């Protein structure tokens, strides 16, 4: 084991150092239900299977083929003869099945209503980021979690990533950066689809009406294939390129980096958000999210500046999706793949670390389809923190309120870009100061008969 591997491995052996908690042994298998059986839904639940004794009692998806595949894979992984109950409507599932944990891994426009329904039904919840597609949805989700006294963990798993916890503890907390003046975060992945697929009839096995839910009903289409060669369906990543269903690359990728630096640097709400951008290069397709965008999140301490482009090259090829934390004594570069701390003027890092791989202990990590291998240990640590907090009733490391702060900040960035002006934010009143027009945009209209949740 070389020094870089040793450094990252030490992040989990010293739980007090990293801030990650070990889960208490469960008295009996936890009853778990999954809403959204796509790629990441299965990936997350496989990590829970590795972490604690569970019984998967219910699976829900609007794609019958995806649902059947998930049931088969879960049976193989749990080595259980008990078959989960299968549903196409989460409301029916939550009404009929009692759950300890409900995992919500749906597209972004389907996070708020199932999460609120799950805590009302008595479950603790694991919910994907961004938690919402408008700010009031997020506010309502926090209110519901608090009202029903439920633990809700948002899947912003950078907060449980061992090498990032180490970077926080060994560089930031030890003061090696000195006074910090600003942070840059970025994503230069070519992840925005730019196709013009024809409108067609949805397949029999896919309930497009239910999948659309409270979002605007677009004509059914899908690109020729997705990034992984899967069958062309809108719910396989094509949806991410439309504002109807999510918050664009800011909501998908900025949220991770912004949440990571908020956690590492102990930042709260930004006081002002400014953003500019648009579709400057990839104009030929149906996709309506920006291909170019910058956003400045002004915190009381210092600004955090985001940039994304879905074309061209990255200024730093080793850090295409990353954060750069600048201090008077040096610079900390962090990403999902590594971290490096450079003293001022140095060409070689004084400290570095890479992701913790536990493939000797979990050999299935090596062969699991589509698994981002660097994220496996982070997801397991995130689940352990969630399970620990279920026992203690503490707030988890990615508590729903933290997820709301980061999500809402990203939504404000998109609003600022569209409005062409900076937005001064008041978290106490959840309003844009002196801007009634912007405040009205904090709640988007739901498609009938779906009803927008209220922060009660």
Looking up residue 129, the CATH number of its domain turns out to be 3.40.50.720
Q: What sign does the CA torsion over 259, 260, 266, 272 have?
A: negative
Q: What is the pLDDT along the chain (456 residues), one digit of tens a residue?
A: 333 343 444 444 343 334 455 555 557 899 999 999 998 999 999 999 999 999 999 999 999 999 999 999 999 999 888 899 999 999 999 999 999 999 999 999 999 999 999 999 999 999 999 999 999 999 999 999 999 999 999 999 999 999 999 999 999 999 999 999 999 999 999 999 888 988 989 989 999 999 999 999 999 998 765 544 555 566 667 899 999 999 999 999 999 999 999 999 999 999 999 999 999 999 999 999 999 999 999 999 999 999 999 999 999 999 999 999 999 999 999 999 999 999 999 999 999 999 999 999 999 999 998 899 999 999 999 999 999 999 999 999 999 999 999 999 999 999 999 999 999 999 999 999 999 999 999 999 999 999 999 999
- How far apart CA 202 and CA 210 sit, in angstroms, is 12
pTM: 0.93
pLDDT tens-digit readout, 401-414 = 999 999 999 999 99
Total domains present in the chain: 1
pLDDT tens-digit readout, 1-10 = 333 343 444 4
Examine residue 111 and state whether it is found in any structural domain, yes or no. Answer: yes
Examine residue 274 and state whether it is found in any structural domain, yes or no. Answer: no
Examine residue 207 and state whether it is found in any structural domain, yes or no. Answer: no
CA distances from 433 to 136, 404, 426 (A): 16, 19, 6
CA-closest candidate to residue 222, choices 206, 210, 213, 214: 206
Number of alpha carbons in the 13 Å side-chain half-sphere of residue 400? 29
Examine residue 136 and state whether it is found in any structural domain, yes or no. Answer: yes
End-to-end CA distance of the chain: 53
Examine residue 121 and state whether it is found in any structural domain, yes or no. Answer: yes
Examine residue 289 and state whether it is found in any structural domain, yes or no. Answer: no
Please give the structure tokens belonging to residue 304.
């955090």
Give me the percent of the chain exceeding a pLDDT of 90.
85
CB-based burial label for 312 (10 Å; 0-12, 13-18, 19+): exposed
Is the Cβ–Cβ distance between 296 and 274 less than 8 Å? yes
21: containing domain? 3-158+397-401
Examine residue 93 and state whether it is found in any structural domain, yes or no. Answer: yes
- How far apart CA 149 and CA 43 sit, in angstroms, is 27
Examine residue 124 and state whether it is found in any structural domain, yes or no. Answer: yes
pLDDT tens-digit readout, 126-149 = 999 999 999 999 999 999 999 999
Phi, psi (degrees; rounded to nearest 5) at 150 = -110, 150
Task: Give the chain's radius of gyration (CA, Å).
Answer: 21
């Amino acid at each position: 084991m070389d020094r870089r591997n040793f450094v990252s491995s030490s992040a989990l052996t010293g739980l007090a150092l990293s801030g990650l908690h070990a889960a208490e042994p469960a008295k009996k298998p936890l009853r778990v239900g999954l809403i959204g059986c796509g790629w990441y839904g299965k990936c997350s639940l496989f990590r829970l299977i590795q972490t604690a004794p569970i019984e998967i009692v219910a699976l829900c998806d609007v794609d019958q083929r995806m649902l059947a595949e998930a049931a088969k894979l879960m049976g193989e992984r749990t080595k259980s003869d008990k078959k989960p109950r299968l549903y196409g409507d989460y409301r029916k599932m939550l009404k009929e099945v009692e759950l300890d944990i409900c995992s919500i891994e749906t597209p972004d426009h389907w996070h708020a209503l199932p999460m609120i329904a799950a805590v009302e039904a008595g479950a603790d919840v694991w919910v994907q980021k961004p938690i919402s597609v408008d700010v009031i949805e997020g506010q309502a989700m926090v209110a519901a979690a608090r009202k029903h006294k439920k633990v809700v963990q948002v899947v912003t798993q950078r907060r449980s990533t061992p090498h990032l916890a180490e970077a926080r503890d060994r560089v930031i907390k030890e003061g090696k950066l000195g006074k910090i003046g600003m942070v840059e975060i970025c994503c230069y992945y070519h992840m925005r689809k730019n196709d013009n697929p024809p409108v067609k009839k949805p397949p029999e096995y896919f309930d497009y009406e239910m999948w659309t839910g409270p979002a605007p009903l677009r004509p059914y289409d899908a690109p020729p294939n997705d990034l992984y060669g899967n069958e062309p369906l809108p719910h396989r990543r094509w949806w991410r390129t439309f504002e109807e269903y999510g918050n664009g690359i800011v909501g998908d990728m900025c949220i991770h980096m912004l949440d990571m630096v908020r956690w590492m640097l102990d930042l709260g709400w930004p006081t002002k958000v400014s953003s500019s951008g648009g579709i400057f290069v990839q104009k030929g397709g149906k996709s309506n999210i920006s291909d170019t965008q910058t956003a400045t999140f002004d915190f009381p301490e210092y600004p955090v500046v985001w940039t994304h482009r879905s074309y061209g090259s990255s200024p730093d090829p080793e850090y295409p999706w990353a954060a750069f934390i600048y201090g008077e004594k040096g610079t900390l570069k962090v990403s999902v793949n590594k971290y490096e701390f450079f003293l001022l003027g140095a060409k070689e890092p004084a400290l570095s670390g890479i992701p913790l791989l536990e493939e000797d202990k979990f050999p299935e990590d090596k062969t699991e389809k589509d698994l981002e291998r660097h994220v496996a240990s982070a997801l397991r640590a995130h689940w352990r923190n969630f399970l620990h907090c279920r026992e203690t009733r503490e707030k988890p490391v990615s508590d729903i309120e933290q997820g709301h702060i980061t999500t809402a900040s990203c939504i404000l960035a998109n609003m600022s870009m569209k409005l062409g002006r900076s937005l001064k934010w008041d978290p106490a009143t959840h309003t844009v100061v002196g801007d009634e027009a912007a405040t009205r945009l904090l709640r988007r209209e739901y498609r009938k008969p779906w009803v927008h949740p209220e922060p009660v």
